[in-house]
Chain A
Amino acid sequence: MSEQNLLQVSDLSVSVDEMQILHKLNLKVNPGETHVLMGPNGAGKSTLGNTLMGNPNYVVNEGKIIFDGQDITNLSTDKRAAAGMFMSFQNPLEVPGISLSAFIRNAIHSQTGKPIKLLAYKKLLESTMELLNMDPSYADRDLNVGFSGGEKKKAEILQLLMLSPRLAILDETDSGLDVDAVRTVSKGIEEYQKRENGALIIITHSTKILESLHVDHTHVLVKGELVASGDGSLVEEINANGFERFIKD
Chain B
Amino acid sequence: MNIDMRVNELPARTYRWLQLNGEDVSEKDISFSAFSLEAVKVPEGVSLLENVDADKAESIFAPSHEANLKADEGLVGPNGDTAPNHAGQIVRTGMGTGVDSLLESAGVKATVIKIAEGTVVSEPVMFHDHLSKGKSTISRQVIIVPDNSELTVIMDYDSDADADGIEAVSTKFFVGKDATLHLVKVQMLGQKVRHFDDLGGVVMEKGKFDLVEMEMGASKSYVGAYVSLLGDESQSLNNTGFLGTDEQFYDFNYVAEQRGKKTDSMATFRGVLEERASKNWRGSLDFREGSSGSVGDEQEDTLLLSPDVINRSMPLILCKEENVDGRHGATIGQLSDDMLFYMEARGIDKETAKKIMVRARLDSVARMIPDEDLKNKVALFLDQIL
Contacts and interface: CB of A to CB of B under 8 A. Distances in A.
A218 to B, nearest CB: 25
Contacts of B350: 78
A4 to B, nearest CB: 24
B342 A106 contact: no
Interface stretch (B124-132, B308-316, B356-364): B356-364
A81 B356 contact: no
B360 A93 contact: no
12 contacts: A55-B341, A57-B337, A77-B344, A78-B347, A86-B345, A87-B345, A98-B356, A103-B346, A104-B346, A106-B348, A107-B346, A111-B346
Interface in A55-111: 55-57, 76-78, 80-82, 86-87, 89, 92-93, 95-98, 102-104, 106-107, 110-111
A53 interface: yes
B45 interface: no
A202 interface: no
A107 B357 contact: no
B360 A77 contact: no
A107 B337 CA distance: 18
Nearest to A93: B342
B345 A97 contact: no
A111 B345 contact: no
A53 B347 CA distance: 11
Contact of A93 (B339, B348, B352, B364): B339
A97 B342 CA distance: 15
B349 interface: yes
A159 interface: yes
A95 B346 contact: no
B341 A56 contact: yes
Interface of B: 303, 333, 337-339, 341-350, 352, 356-357, 360-361, 364
A93 B345 CA distance: 12
Contact of A107 (B338, B348, B360, B364): B348
B149 to A, nearest CB: 34
Contact of B347 (A81, A96, A97): A81
A106 B347 CA distance: 9
B356 A159 contact: no
Contacts of A77: 341, 344-345
Q: How large is the interface on A (under 10, 10 to 19, 20 to 34, 35 or more residues)?
A: 20 to 34
Nearest to A91: B338
B357 A110 contact: no
A77 B352 CA distance: 13
Contact of B360 (A78, A87, A102, A159): A102
Contacts of A102: 360
B360 A97 contact: yes
Nearest to A102: B360
A78 B349 contact: yes
Interface string A189-226: 00000000000000000000000000000000000000
A97 B356 CA distance: 9
Given A97-B361, A106-B356, 15 more contacts: A56-B337, A57-B337, A77-B344, A80-B345, A81-B344, A81-B347, A89-B342, A96-B333, A102-B360, A103-B346, A103-B356, A104-B346, A107-B348, A110-B347, A159-B346
A143 B75 CA distance: 50
Contacts of A159: 346
Contacts of A78: 344-345, 347-350
A163 B360 contact: no
Contacts of B339: 93, 95
A106 B343 CA distance: 10
Nearest to B352: A110
B356 A163 contact: no
A111 B347 CA distance: 5
Which of A55, A82, A97 has the most CB atoms of chain B within a 10 A radius of its CB? A97
Contacts of A86: 345
